[in-house]
Structure 1
Amino acid sequence: MNLGTVTTTDITTHVIEGVPPFDDDMAVAAAVDASVFDGRGWVDATTGKPVFDAVRRRLGPISADQVYTMVPHFRLGGDGAARDFSIGGFIEYLKDIEFGRRNATESVALAQRLGLPFGDDEDWGIHIAIPLRGTEVHPLIARNVVRLHIRPNPDWQWELSGRIVERGEFSESEKKIYRNDLGLPVLGCGNLYAFPTWLRQVREKNGLDFDTRAADIRVGRKRAAAKLIVQWLES
């Protein structure tokens, strides 16, 4: 749906009195990543870059509610085709955008495929630490270990890392490989569900046998989720 554009004037005209971040159009332009503005100083909302995304890029991972506490009412569109939004209506619009991005992640796809008991909007996290077979200390403090951290965040879905003392480290995410001193195979974007297969490849090709039965799995208080993850690791 074409919702037009948002001007900096539209934003600053309706800022709640006493909330300081945007005092004038120049302050908005300084606070928001300038790359999203066109020649007239408008933010293009039709290309997936609404004001919320622009502001959050500059201010960090703040929520829609926090951003729009500053901007309770504004207008999308122009040239006779404007559309007004109340704070509640636009927050719902933003939540729909974020929900769509979240559901498109492979971390959410993994949770659904495994039947993990997470709510649709739950901010969950999975932490897995798998020690090298024969390790006597707890996986969380093991020096020879593989770790996998998974979140339903479209900008940071998962991170896989490994370390073997005196040999080096390995680290990658769905976006890139950061380090591979160990010469391990790459899991790669879109292959999160194949993590157990990756562990077998590491054992067969690199001679590193990480013991999934000794893994430490943390998913908050979701014990049922931990059991399902154990089954996945053993698959």
Structure 2
Amino acid sequence: MKWSQFFNTTIGKKLLVGATGLFLCSFVIVHLAGNLSLLKDDGGEAFNTYAAFMGHNGFIQFLAWGLKIVILLHAIVAIQLTIRNQKARPVKYAVRPGNKTSSWFSRQMAIMGSILFIFLVIHLQNFWWAMHYGDIGKVSYGAVTEVGNLYEVVYFAFQQPWLVILYVIGMIALSFHLIHGFKSACQTFGLNHKKYNGILHFIGVWFFGILIPVAFAAIPVIIYFKQI
């Protein structure tokens, strides 16, 4: 069987969703580490330096375009799997099987994925687009080359309560998405085993599902209350 044929099968698509999902899990860790510098009381030096490096380093930019492709691939294949599953069961159950056949998280993935997509579009428009194509101010730190003051853009944006609320809702959706997604990826790649299911559960639920989304959500909330 050719690779193109394999990835058109349900198993192949699940492997693609799992692989791209695990890659995106690693991305959110790096992204959070950089975003936490927004909370440093240094006038934005750490964050603006980080943003300038991420925005102009050739290798990072290459990875960034790869990331965009991975996000699109992950979303498209996940949608294809959802449609395929619905077509395979055209008549709905008279009584929903509930937790006997699927978790509550898995049954909410389409909704949470849609919320995440809306959040991502607004996030990119507010910050990524502003950084690369917007007319933002410049700032210099000692001998460092003049860089865009994205720190100021972020702090201005998070003066708006609706945007802060949107980010919190987006991170709730991310939490549900990561909890189910990490578990599903482990199942897809056969990583489940009674010897280390405990650590996988901890990583999937407490680290990716709770710690990371809470930390992301805390950033706009803290910034908002620092300014009022």
* Bin for the TM-score computed over the shorter chain: under 0.3
Higher strand share: 1
Higher helix share: 2
For the pair shown, the structure with the greater C-alpha radius of gyration is: 1
Comparing both chains, which one has the higher relative contact order based on Cα–Cα distances under 8 Å and sequence gaps of 6 or more? 2
Alignment TM-score, normalising by the size of structure 2? 0.22
